[in-house]
Amino acid sequence: MRAHMDEIKKERLSRSVEAFVQNAGGIATGIATVETLAGGPPSADLSYVLPGARSAVVFALPLDQEAIERYLAKKDFKSSNIDNRRVNSMASGIALELAVYLRMKGHAAVPVSSNFFYREDAPLGRLEEQPDISHRYLAVRSGIGHFGLSGNVIRKPEGAAIILGSTVTTADLIPTDPLPAEDNYCDRCKLCQASCASGFMSDEEDATVTLGGVNFTYAKRRAHERCDYVCGGFTGLHRSGRWSTWSPARFPIPDNDEDFGPALMAAAGPYIARPKSGVGFFHAMMPRDRGEFTCGHCQYICHPDVPVRKRRYRMIVKSGVVIQREDGALDAVSPDQAKAHIASLSPELRALYE
Ligand code: SF4
Ligand code: SF4
């Protein structure tokens, strides 16, 4: 009888946490447990943030698709950036409120930050950028979405344009199943790789993680400094010279992983000295704590509808090269106009960009 009552309570609480997230605007909720995450990488270890943890509630919030398209077409830098920040804050906030709810129900619970928190006890400390908990692992294992080739979590109808959040708890919850592998819309179109100026995703090797006996595969990730360098705004001109991210800088993008650290160091001074566009975020590991989100292509391009995906790729590669005006404003111009603009700058100003 006691065991039966415990099962009923477990079922009720599992449904309650799902409804909790849904009421806050979540588009999908999953539950992962110590068992369903067993054998995973270190950032699938729930006990890292909460000794005695048994479950995690993971959820997704949608990003603004229209703002994404204006961003990819290099017409509007600001709206998508602010939306991205706001949705990340909402994800962290929902995780906190859900933790409070679970604590009030008598269970230990901790919210996991949506982003920007890294383990200090990794071999290279926070420089390794290893999160305390990887929302991605929890999300694919609990059925929120699939891994795309990019390594981003993708789902219909939002594609990869989602932000994930999680709450870890000692509550015993009922795990949800992964989505059927055959429903994964990723067709290995490789547009995520084609739109990545940094070469972060290997086009030769895959990586597989095993979580609770289930395998998940995506393109092996190269040095994270690649994405830091390009998505973080230190540079942005694609090696073709025909298109860029929203970064107005055109420092060369190295071929080899080991050259990205020195390239980042070299680009940090100009990064600090460039006028600020007024759009960005705070990040403890960025120069002077100010980050600029200038890419996100691999995430934003990955729409479930192939025509939309292709259109977004054309937006990226046909919308030109970003330059910066004296007041900090960012404008997309043709590749030749961008070259002429850079050539017109004084040597001191030019050194901020190339
Ligand atoms: S862009 Fe294409 S290859 Fe990359 S994750 Fe999306 S569907 Fe897969
Ligand atoms: S955000 Fe940009 S630089 Fe980073 S991996 Fe994605 S496409 Fe590459």
Q: Across the chain, what does the average pLDDT equal?
A: 96
Tell how far the Cα of 214 is from the centroid of ligand 1, in angstroms: 21
Q: Mean pLDDT of successive 10-residue segments in the chain (354 residues)?
A: 87 97 97 98 97 98 98 97 97 98 98 91 86 97 98 98 98 98 98 98 96 98 96 96 97 97 95 89 83 95 98 98 94 97 96 96
Give the C-alpha separation, 158 to 178, whole Å. 18
Q: What are the domain boundaries of the chain?
A: 2-187, 224-350
Nearest to 110 by CA among 177, 34, 36, 165: 165
Residue ranges of alpha helices (H) inside 29-134 are: 65-72, 78-104
Cα(263) to centroid of ligand 2, in Å?
A: 16
Both tokens of residue 242? 């025909």
Determine the residue of 71, 196, 218 to mutate for testing ligand 2's pocket, defined as the one with the most ligand atoms within 8 A of the Cβ atom: 196
Ligand 1, atom 8, lies closest to the CA of 186
Tokens representing residue 237 in the block: 């001109």
Per-residue model confidence (pLDDT) at position 247: 97
Q: pTM surpassing 0.75?
A: yes
For the segment 19-39, what is each residue's pLDDT rounded down to a tens digit? 999 999 999 999 999 999 999
With the CA atoms of 129, 239, 75 and 264 taken in that order, what torsion angle do they form, in degrees rounded to the nearest 10? 30
pLDDT at site 127: 83
Ligand 2 centroid distance, CA of 199 (Å) = 8
Tracing tokens 């111009």 back to the chain, one arrives at: 333
pLDDT of res. 106: 97
Q: Which atom of ligand 1 is nearest to the CA of 185?
A: 7
Cα of 149 from ligand 1 centre, angstroms:
5
3-class state of residue 277 by DSSP: coil
232 near 286, Cβ under 8 Å? yes
Cα 275 to middle of ligand 1, angstroms:
35
Determine the Cα–Cα distance for residues 59 and 24; give it in Å rounded to an integer.
11
325 lines ligand 1 (CB under 6 A): no
Residues 154-193 pLDDT 10s: 999 999 999 999 999 999 999 999 999 999 999 999 999 9
Q: Is 40 exposed, middle or buried (0-12, 13-18, 19+ CB in 10 A)?
A: buried
